[in-house]
Amino acid sequence: MTRIDDKFAQLKAEGKKAFVAYVMAGDPDEEKSLEIVKALPAAGVDIIELGLPFTDPMADGPTIQLAGQRALDHGMTLTKTLAVAKAFRETDTTTPLVLMGYYNPIYSRGVDKFLVDAAEAGIDGLIIVDLPPEEDDELCIPAQAAGLNFIRLATPTTDDKRLPKVLENTSGFVYYVSVTGVTGAAEAAGADVGPEVARIKSQTDLPVIVGFGVNTPEKAQEIASIADGTVVGSAIVKQIAEGKSVAEVAAFIKTLSDGAHRA
C-alpha cells in the first residue's frame, strides 16, 4: 500500500471524491514553488502532482510550457525537484506526491539511481507521459518493484483494443485525459467524459481521475461527480504566472477543491 492507495481508501470511507492539483516544480522559482506546494494540503488538495521541468514538453499547452521554461530559467533540475519533494516531506508525511513529466531527465540520471532518490525524497508515484506500455521494462516495472505507483494516461483515442494494454501495469489510479490535444487547450465536457469513465471502470478496480480542461469550481464538481476525482493544472499555473501571492494561489485552489469535494 502506498500513500496514494491509503488516500483513496480514506476518501472512499468519507464518501468524498479526490481533488488533485498540478504545479510545476521551480515555478516561478524554487523557493516560492516550495511554499506553494506546502500550502496545497490546507487548500484541500488530496494528491499533489509535481511537474518536472523539461525542455520539450510535448503534451503540455502554452501555460505549462511557459511554467517549465520559467523553472528552467531559474536553474531547476531533477535534483532540485526532488529536493522540493524532500523539503515538503519534512512537514507532511501523508499527502501523496506524484512526479509528472518526461522520461529524458530520468534516463539521463539512470533509472536505478533515480528510483532510489525518488523514494528517499518521498515521491509516491510517477506519471511519465512519453513512455508507452510497450516500454514498461524501462521504468514502470522497476518503479513498482521499488514501491512507487506507475500511473498511466488513458485518452479519448484509447479504444477497447488498446485499453487493456494501457491498464496492464498501471497502479495508484488511472488518469483519464478528457480532451484530445494538449493541457489547457479545451474544456472538459461531462457528457463526453461520463461514458469514457464508465468504460475504463468496467475494466479496472483502480480509481479513475479526470484531468485536462477543468478550470472552475463548477467544472471540478461536474467532472468529479462522474469520476473518482479530478485534476486541475493549467488554471492553477496561470495564477502563479500572474504573480499572485502564495495565499492568493491557495485561496483559488480552495475554491476548486471545495467544488470537487461537493461532488
Catalytic residues, which ones?
A: 49, 60
CA separation, residue 157 to residues 120, 129, 163, 180, 230 (Å)? 36, 15, 10, 8, 19
For 130, the grid coordinates are 512519453
Q: Which residues contact 192 (CB under 8 A, 6 or more apart)?
A: 156, 178
Element spanning 246, H or E: helix 246-261
Look at residues 197, 196, 206, 201 and name the one whose alpha carbon lies nearest to residue 169: 206
Assess contact for 189 and 218: CB atoms under 8 A. Answer: no
Q: How far apart are the first and last CA of the chain?
A: 26
Q: Is 243 helix (H, G, I), strand (E, B) or coil?
A: coil
Among positive and negative, which fits the CA dihedral 106, 46, 87, 24? positive
Query: For residue 189, with 0-12 CB atoms within 10 Å meaning exposed, 13-18 middle and 19 or more buried, which class applies?
Result: middle
